Structure 1
Amino acid sequence: MNIGLIGAGGITHVHIPAWLALGARVTVFSLEGAAAVAAQYGIDAVDSLDELLERCDVVDICTPTPTHYRLAERALRAGKHVICEKPIALCAADADTLAELAAFVGKQLHPAHVVRYFAEYALAHKAVGAGTIGEPAILRFSRIGEFPAWASWFADEAQSGGIVLDQMIHDLDIARWIAGEVIEIYAVKHVASGCETAQVVLTHESGALSYVTGVWGAPGTTFATSFSIAGSKGVLNHDSKSDASLRFDLGAPLPGAHSQRPDTSLGESPYLTELREFAAAIEGGAAPRVSLGDASRAVELAVAANESIASGRSVSVIRHGVSA
């Protein structure tokens, strides 16, 4: 595969090694920093987007959120398959437009919602789907890190969508992936002293409730994630601060198992797993675990949460025809 990667920021430093591990040829273009990135990884840099599009089969968009829609549209119209970092757009209408364009030109567009590829979340999805903890009832997700002050656009909600659309969209997507479609959202947010925190409550069609917490904290805040999924038969917990694996609380060991903690081999980069799955799909393989419909719906949920924050009221997000 000939990959044309757009961007030279932090996320490129996980995408490029993954592509190289898959044997792809990578060319990079960015308004700033492309030469340094190319030198670091021994790849080519080009001076224009037109030149990048001439040299590649697949475009990988690793740029700030406000550029995603325009760059994805340009790449699709140039006849390229596209992989785009989350969120795929700043509103669901734009995400849907990109999906329609991809179908029209006959090219694939893959949204990089990488948390679905982290082993602990993938295992949780599998365990809940298998009925291990019964019907999910109360789910809690948290994601904590320092405020992304390294780029000014994060602080401009018109460009980033704030903490909900930029950071918490990961857990909004995971909550829906695990507990099913969402019908209502209520959210609150607090901003002070360069920090931002938010709480989003999702009501699922099943009646389950998901509580999603996001924190952009003070400089040096240790990045951490956690979740707790309580069901009719037990509870599934994960806390990156204490243990990278999953813990089941079922009252008794799993049938036939010697331990209540499953093997959670976290050795492979989830970015490599994700891009391998996308590459396989582009070459005619199975559809990836995250779809354009999932990406559009995640944006819709995040935008609705921001609307709830602004209005102080819950927001209905019933959307017929969208599968969980």
Structure 2
Amino acid sequence: MSTIRVAVVGFGTMGKLYADILSEMEGVSLTAICSSSAESRLEAARLGALRFGSLDELIQEKIPVDAVVLALPTYLHKAYAVAAADKGLHIICEKPVALTTEDTEEMIEACRRNGVCLFVGHVLRFFPDYARMTERVSDGEIGPVITAHAKRFSLHPPSNSWFEDDTKSGGVLFDLMIHDIDYLHSLMGEAESVYAVIRKSPGVQYAAAVLRFENGTVANLEAMWGYAGPFTSSLGVTGKDGMLRADNEAYKLAVSRGAVAAHSQRNEGVAIPQGEPADDPYRLELEHFIECIRTGAEPIVTARDAGRAVATACAALESAWLGRPIKPQRLRQSTSALHVKD
């Protein structure tokens, strides 16, 4: 097995998580951590990686790496992805891929031009209960899907963080709701229209959206920063013959027919949503992307999928501003299936 050499760029919550996982993965060398934080120096030494103050420093030193993991604030994704692609590096980018469809297309085009892969961490696809839901919907277990309802509530980000600036983070729509937007696209296909509302007050941001898909399915989505309880997420999908429900508090996929079956719940209160320890979705995601780099296989989440989620989130923001349904923009056809070397 060839060793894939990886650098993690950014060392916040997700950068630390990715670095820990990569340092333990078979067939992977955590070669470098790129961050200006004092903590990153100590952690790089602990993990046996080199430490650089920036991606530019890594590139200037000509350290041999095959891929970079971009665990940076969203507004920085495009500039770093284009710079990495121009140096021939594969890219694993934290979600959302960007804040506009134009930036997304520039990132994809840079990767196509340089013959490298672009993967985006829509980790919900790798949660075992959501993966099982996808299989059961595809198998027709509940018949044609009629409606879906997704909920994702979390603590509010620190008031002094970049998340607080919607021009840098996209707000709760791009940070939380985009998880469910991407997943529902994977089940239902293209969204025909989106109608959304956003409400803000000190320490709270709430968004609700109704997505109407081209296949006729209607989905209701909710996302909230500033939730008083523990992190909460759930998704219910209803078809002609039954319902499937995934719930982070239950840690299982519940199936019911007729009357809704009750199931036990327990509060987890984790900062980063997790699945069962044996099926860590972040590890599954990274292992999948690394294997795609190694083999050229098509990933579960394509760059076009990530761009489609951005387009729908942008339409939701526009809808909230204008107070009417908006049709999501389509990415250019040239951006399809750009996940392997030419």
**Taking structure 2 as the reference length, what is the TM-score of the superposition?**
0.86
Q: Which residue of 2 aligns with 1:271?
A: 282
Structure 1 counterpart of 2:101, one-letter code: A
CA distance, structure 1, for counterparts of residue 138 and residue 185 of structure 2: 13
For 2:309, which of 292, 298, 305 is the aligned residue? 298
Alignment of 1:9 with 2:12, yes or no, is yes
Q: Which residue of 1 aligns with 2:33?
A: 28
CA distance, structure 2, for counterparts of residue 154 and residue 238 of structure 1: 27
Offset of residue 285 of structure 1:
4.2
Contact between 2:312 and 2:329, CA under 8 Å: does it hold in 1? no
CA distance, structure 2, for counterparts of residue 285 and residue 68 of structure 1: 23
Once the two structures are superposed, what CA deviation does each residue of 1:155-174 show, in whole Å capped at 9, x if it has no partner?
11111111001211111111
Offset of residue 150 of structure 1:
6.4
CA distance, structure 1, for counterparts of residue 47 and residue 307 of structure 2: 33
Number of residues paired by the alignment? 311
Offset of residue 43 of structure 1:
2.6
Offset of residue 12 of structure 1:
1.7
Alignment of 1:319 with 2:330, yes or no, is yes
Offset of residue 41 of structure 1:
2.9
RMSD: 2.1
Q: Which residue of 2 aligns with 1:184?
A: 193
Q: Which residue of 2 aligns with 1:261?
A: none
Q: Which stretch of the first structure deviates more once superposed, 144-153 or 131-140?
A: 144-153
Once the two structures are superposed, what CA deviation does each residue of 1:116-165 show, in whole Å capped at 9, x if it has no partner?
11111111111111111111111001111101116521111111111001
Give the gaps of 5 or more residues in structure 2. Answer: 260-274, 337-342
Once the two structures are superposed, what CA deviation does each residue of 1:31-77 show, in whole Å capped at 9, x if it has no partner?
22421331443432123423423221111100111111110010001
Structure 1 counterpart of 2:167, one-letter code: A
CA distance, structure 1, for counterparts of residue 24 and residue 257 of structure 2: 39
Alignment of 1:250 with 2:247, yes or no, is no
Contact between 1:119 and 1:266, CA under 8 Å: does it hold in 2? no
Q: Which residue of 2 aligns with 1:232?
A: 240
Contact between 1:28 and 1:52, CA under 8 Å: does it hold in 2? no
Q: Which residue of 2 aligns with 1:47?
A: 53
Give percent identity, aligned residues only. Answer: 33
Q: Which residue of 2 aligns with 1:149?
A: 158
**Taking structure 1 as the reference length, what is the TM-score of the superposition?**
0.90
Q: Which residue of 1 aligns with 2:118?
A: 109
Contact between 2:251 and 2:276, CA under 8 Å: does it hold in 1? no
Report matched runs for 1:155-170 at 5 Å.
Answer: 155-170=164-179
Contact between 1:133 and 1:234, CA under 8 Å: does it hold in 2? yes
Report matched runs for 1:50-199 at 5 Å.
Answer: 50-53=56-59, 54-55=62-63, 56-149=65-158, 151-199=160-208
CA distance, structure 2, for counterparts of residue 151 and residue 174 of structure 1: 30
Give the gaps of 5 or more residues in structure 1. Answer: 253-263
CA distance, structure 1, for counterparts of residue 161 and residue 19 of structure 2: 24
Contact between 1:183 and 1:318, CA under 8 Å: does it hold in 2? no
Structure 2 counterpart of 1:291, one-letter code: T
Structure 2 counterpart of 1:74, one-letter code: A
Offset of residue 178 of structure 1:
1.3
CA distance, structure 1, for counterparts of residue 155 and residue 169 of structure 2: 16
